[in-house]
Amino acid sequence: MGHAAAPSIPVTTIPGTIPGVILYHAHTLLLFTCDQILDTVIPGTTFGITAATSGPVLDLPAQNITSILQRILLVAVWLWLVILQFCLQNQRNPGSVEEDSINKPWRPIPSGRVTSAQVEYLLIATHILASVASCCLGVLPIFVVYIILITAYNDFGGGDHNGILRNLFCGAGFSCYFSGAMSIALGPDISMSFQAWKWTLLITFCILATTIQTQDFRDEAGDKARNRSTLVTKLGRKPALWTVIILVPLWSLYTTLVFFEGGWKMAVIPVVLGGTLVTTAFQAMGGDMHELDRRMYKIWCLWMFGLCPLPVMKIIWS
């Protein structure tokens, strides 16, 4: 038996004009991170800003809302920079290129916009920029933990061999994103309270880490080709869907009614979005339905986004 041929990577021509070159490379950076803008940058920014404005709900000192809102851009840019760092480190690996050739052929390396060697240089520059930004914004300790996590995940296969460990890595990574976002939103003179850390760890290590397999259904073919173990490939499609069907309503109700001790009005958005996700998961029980798998991922992102402003919703509905 011969070895399978490596995926053929096309070559993309770079425009000749300066504006064309700038737009081309900006588009390339966007292609590296476009999924993560939806599932990390937008909810992470929302999480950090709304937590900072919630004051006593999370045992944080009251601040002028205008001063917090002025930090939105800082939060969003830092999140995008560190997620770019993760994406570059992840997508440059040969296994990731093979997987993306099946699941996401539009990404920069399999589409031929850049080579893995060029991405190595870009990764070094991003490491430096993210380190400097984290130091200036007062989140360097969080960033150091993040570097250790993404290196173990991307370069040492931390997320390839066990679906549960993969989910825990994701929870740990998102705890860095969300705690960093909240710290930047609070400003340099205010530290996260114990209650703020509890909320951060609940939404990352508990909620996200037990439901993030929702995004793995759309990547099932590539994960199998790469021999990556996820909850979907390990448990099978239907048992993995049942984890979503059971856990999403559980977390929707626990977070609003128990953790924040809110009323049913506070639970409306998480329950409606969670119910939509559960309905789609039931529909996806019919077999390999790639369109439904992509829809589940998008609804899961919306559901996570709907959980992020709960501290502020607690104030509104009190």
pLDDT digits (tens, 9 = 90+) for 106-140: 999 998 899 999 999 999 999 999 999 999 999 99
Question: With the CA atoms of 143, 57, 61 and 145 taken in that order, what torsion angle do they form, in degrees rounded to the nearest 10?
Answer: -10
Read off the pLDDT band of 287 (50, 70, 90).
low
- 5 located within any domain: no
pLDDT mean across residues, the chain: 91
- 174 located within any domain: yes
- 210 located within any domain: yes
- 298 located within any domain: yes
pLDDT digits (tens, 9 = 90+) for 177-233: 999 999 999 999 999 999 999 999 999 999 999 999 999 998 887 777 777 888 898
**How many separate domains does the chain show?**
1
Read off the pLDDT band of 15 (50, 70, 90).
low
Give the pLDDT score at 228: 80
With contact defined as beta carbons under 8 Å apart, do 146 and 140 qualify?
no
DSSP 8-state symbol, 6: P
- 290 located within any domain: yes
Report the distance separating Cα 208 and Cα 243, nearest Å: 12
What's the average model confidence in pLDDT over 231-247? 93
Read off the pLDDT band of 10 (50, 70, 90).
low
- 10 located within any domain: no
Residue numbers of the domain that contains 52: 20-313
- 12 located within any domain: no
Query: Would the pTM count as exceeding 0.85?
Result: yes
- Closest alpha carbon to 159 in 244, 218, 231, 248: 231
Give the pLDDT score at 211: 97
pLDDT digits (tens, 9 = 90+) for 255-281: 999 999 998 999 999 999 999 999 999
Q: What is the DSSP string of 100-143?
A: HHHH-TTSTTTTTSS-HHHHHHHHHHHHHHHHHHHHHTT-HHHH
- 151 located within any domain: yes
